[in-house]
Every structure is written in C-alpha cells, then in structure tokens.
Amino acid sequence: ELLGSLKVNQGRLMEDIHHTCQWGTGQRWGEKPTETGMSRLALSDADKEARDWFVKTTEALGCQTTIDAMGNTFAVRPGLRNDKPPTFVGSHLDTQPTGGRYDGILGVTAGVEMLKVLADNWVETEYPVGVVNWTNEEGARFPISMVASGVWAGSIPLETAHNLREVRGPATMASELSRIGYLGSTPSSHTSIPMGAHFELHIEQGPLLELANKKIGVVTGVQAYKWLTVTVKGRDTHTGTTDLKSRADALLTASKMVLHSHKLATANNALASTGIINAFPGSTNTVPGEVSFSLDIRAPQDETVARLYQMVRNDFAKIAAGHDVLACNASCTPGLPCSVSITEDFDSPATTFHSDCVSAVSTAAHAVLGSGAHNQVMQMTSGAGHDSVYASKRCPTSMIFVPCREGVSHNPAEFCKEEDCALGAQVLLQSVLRFDRL
C-alpha cells in the first residue's frame, strides 16, 4: 500500500545530521563537514543553536512547538483526528563533552526526516505525530541522565532538576534554561503534554549488532543503573615529610575503592565505572585529604544493582577503615583510617518496553528489509539509558537500534554508516505509521 512505499531520503537526513553538527564542533559554518566528534553540552550556546534549528525546521513543516519548564521541545503535526495524543519520535541533541555525531542526534534528525517525508507526500496520519527533543539526556553537564524526560514522567521533581548544578561550574539547570531562552511556560508533565506512544531510533553504542552482522535491533528493554557520589575524607599532610603510617590518604583509599568496585561488579555480571574524580586540595606536594568520585553501577536486573550497592557500601567502609579487603593491601603500608560517605544521586530501574510498540518495530523492520529480514533483525536490550526509559512509564514505547562502528560511542570516533542511519530512519517511519493505524 501507499504508506508502506514512503521512503526516507538518505542524503537529506545526512545533511541534517551534519548541518546540526556545525554547532558544537568549533568548526565554522561553510567548512566541509567531517565525520568526527561533537561537544555540545546541554544548555550551552551550541545547544541553543541546535534547538533553534529544531524549532524553526519543525514549524516550517507545519508543526506546532511547545517548550516545557525543562526545555523539552515538542513539535506536533496534526492528524485527521486529534482526539488521541500524538505518537512521538524522540531523542536528544545534547552530547557528551567528547561525543559523536550520532548518539541522540540521529534520533531527532530521523524524526525531522519523518516529518519531511509526510509533508512531501501530503500524508495525513490518522492521529497527530510529533518529534521531541529531550533536554540533557546525557547527564554529562548536569549529572542526572535523562533528567528532563524524568521530570515529564513525574519520576523526578521539577525542583530537583532545576536546582541541579553543572559538574564543573556554578550554573544550575534553571539558570541555564533561562539564559538560553528555553525555560518554557508549559508544565513539564505527561498530563499537560500527553503522548500516545514514543519511538526512538538510536545507535546501539555497543558491538552486538555489528558482531552478529545484523542491521536492526528491536529493543525490548533497558538495563538498570544507579549513580553514586562517594566522598572519602582523610587529612591534608606534606608529601615529603609524612611517613606512610601517619597518612590518611584519601586518594589512595579512593583508588582501592574504584578497583574493588570493578572486581565486585565483574564477579556479579555487572558493571561499575568511575568517570569523575576530584582530589583536594589538588597540590603535588600535599597528600589529598578529600576525594569525591562518581560510581555508575549497571546490571540487567534491579536486584543485582541493589545487591552490588550493598556490597560496595559495606566494603568501602572497610577499605576506609584500613581493612584488607583488597589483595593490594598486602603490599601497601596501612595508613591512618579515612571516613567515607555515599550519596545516591539517581536510579534508573530496569525497563521493559510495551509489546505493542516492540511488535510495531519488529513488523516494520521485517517489512522494510523484506526477505532478508530474518538474518538482519535481532531483538536485544539496551546497555545505555535513553529517554525512552521515562517515556515508557507514561505511554507505550520502544526503540530501534542500528549498528555503530566497533561499538564505539561517547567518543569522537563514533560512526554509523549512512545507509544504516537511513535504514533505521525508514524503520522508525514505518513503525510510527503502523502504530498510527493500530
């Protein structure tokens, strides 16, 4: 039928990706686009430019845009009937400090490409369709990932999000939203901006599709994770005069904790990672008396994350007190005890996507790939968090993954082949059209 024959325009999609990537590279407009990285932290000037492009482009395509109190930007194209909430396509335009051109960006630009295909072909959908750009999905600048879809879903209080301070600097989300003109007046809530469904196209960010030689991942859910800040307190002392037994070295102690959390996670089929570490006072010749570091714990099941968290709490207390939890303690001279405190910053429980959306994606993938589909499509869960986690708390949701080179993401070398970007966008378009007709 006609709708099945609608095709995304690969060249136009790639142009949009690279066009939006002029903001956040330091590369000047007019210079040849490269396939390399992005640094577009949430609510930066570059993010504002990309947001302005999103608003201007979607409005020119006949959408009405709404900006909510978290800066989430919803563009809606009316349907034949408007008595049901729109089916949304969503992702994010912010990136990691050393990010790539596909994580998040592909999902938003594929949504815009969907709008262009519908407009070009004069398609009227049964119900409205929309594209949403979620704020600060990365959690890189403001350290809660998916924070703005979390507020929309009612899982994170608006105040918590507005008061969230940037990792390096004094600005808050509220002050930066207001500075760039994206502190919208519409409440950030699924009741004021309801969704009929949420579909998200994303690069896999891992190696599974590429290794299995598959083209499309039908995503059935997302693993659980928990973010902690660990603070170790010892004593500032002189590095040249303080013997090892008289030191309370907060950094040495923190290092043992990082290593130990890695060992615990490995033994429990989980992951534990530290990405931020701050040592004070930060002087070559002072033994650091205070260290804080981030800990990101992930596993497929909530119980595994909870269990690992308990083990980490218990063992970090022992490590701080100077007990031999670690093999390396045997060869370390024990110093004075430190203290440790842990704050729980954020939890993302394991998510299972709605079977209606999962089957819409699966059916769309099979229709798009035709006879080769059985070799090219695979069901999988996501190791990374996505705004679809929170969307799924309020409406049927699922995701489409496409392979990325060597599974590399959160890195300027992140790369997704043009034909894979377009194939994913095609499956996205067909998923939305199928869901519209359900």
| Chain positions contacting ligand GLV, by CB under 6 A | 137-139, 145, 384-385
Phi-psi map region of 389: left, alpha, beta (phi>0 left; psi -120 to 50 alpha) = alpha
The CB-of-50 to ligand GLV minimum distance in angstroms stands at 17
Residue 429 lies near Mn ion (rule: CB under 5 A): no
Residue 117 or 295: the one with the smaller Cβ distance to ligand GLV is 295
Residue 384 lies near Mn ion (rule: CB under 5 A): yes
Name the packing angle between helices 10-20 and 105-120 (round to 10°).
130
- In 214-289, DSSP assigns E strands to 216-222, 224-233, 237-238, 271-273, 277-280, 286-287
Residue 16 or 137: the one with the smaller Cβ distance to ligand GLV is 137
Select the residue interacting with Mn ion from 16, 47, 49, 103 (CB under 5 A).
Answer: 103
Q: Which does 290 bind (CB under 5 to 8 A by kind): ligand GLV, Mn ion, none?
A: none
> Please, which residues have CB within 8 angstroms of residue 231's CB and are 6 or more apart in sequence?
290, 291, 292, 340, 341, 342, 343
Residue 291 or 404: the one with the smaller Cβ distance to Mn ion is 404
The Cα 403–Cα 415 span in angstroms is 9
Instruction: Provide the token pair at 13.
Output: 């999609």
The Cα 434–Cα 106 span in angstroms is 21
Q: Which does 113 bind (CB under 5 to 8 A by kind): Mn ion, ligand GLV, none?
A: none
The amino acid at residue 58 is T
Residue 200 lies near Mn ion (rule: CB under 5 A): no
Residue 42 or 287: the one with the smaller Cβ distance to ligand GLV is 42
3-state secondary structure of 373: helix
The Cα 405–Cα 415 span in angstroms is 5
The CB-of-145 to Mn ion minimum distance in angstroms stands at 6
Residue 137 or 420: the one with the smaller Cβ distance to ligand GLV is 137
Q: Which does 362 bind (CB under 5 to 8 A by kind): Mn ion, ligand GLV, none?
A: none
Q: Which does 128 bind (CB under 5 to 8 A by kind): ligand GLV, Mn ion, none?
A: none
Residue, CB closest to ligand GLV: 385
Residue 44 or 145: the one with the smaller Cβ distance to ligand GLV is 145
Residue 105 or 384: the one with the smaller Cβ distance to ligand GLV is 384
Q: Which does 103 bind (CB under 5 to 8 A by kind): ligand GLV, Mn ion, none?
A: Mn ion
The CB-of-156 to Mn ion minimum distance in angstroms stands at 16
> Please, which residues have CB within 8 angstroms of residue 299's CB and are 6 or more apart in sequence?
223, 224, 225, 268, 269, 270, 271, 305, 308
The Cα 205–Cα 384 span in angstroms is 8
Instruction: Provide the token pair at 174.
Output: 């509220």
Residues in region 110-149 near Mn ion by CB under 5 A: 138
The CB-of-121 to ligand GLV minimum distance in angstroms stands at 34
Q: Which does 387 bind (CB under 5 to 8 A by kind): Mn ion, ligand GLV, none?
A: none
Q: Residue 293: CA atoms inside 13 Å, Cβ hemisphere, count? A: 24
The Cα 3–Cα 169 span in angstroms is 49
User: Tokens 């894979």, residue?
Assistant: 420
Contact of 381 with 219, CB cutoff 8 Å: yes
Residue 143 or 288: the one with the smaller Cβ distance to ligand GLV is 143
The Cα 173–Cα 384 span in angstroms is 23
Residue 90 or 139: the one with the smaller Cβ distance to ligand GLV is 139
The CB-of-14 to ligand GLV minimum distance in angstroms stands at 24
Integer-rounded Cα Rg, in Å, for the chain is 23
The CB-of-385 to ligand GLV minimum distance in angstroms stands at 3
The Cα 388–Cα 199 span in angstroms is 7
Residue, CB closest to Mn ion: 104
Q: Which does 104 bind (CB under 5 to 8 A by kind): ligand GLV, Mn ion, none?
A: Mn ion
Select the residue interacting with Mn ion from 86, 104, 396, 412 (CB under 5 A).
Answer: 104
Positions in the binding site for Mn ion (CB under 5 A) = 103-104, 138, 384
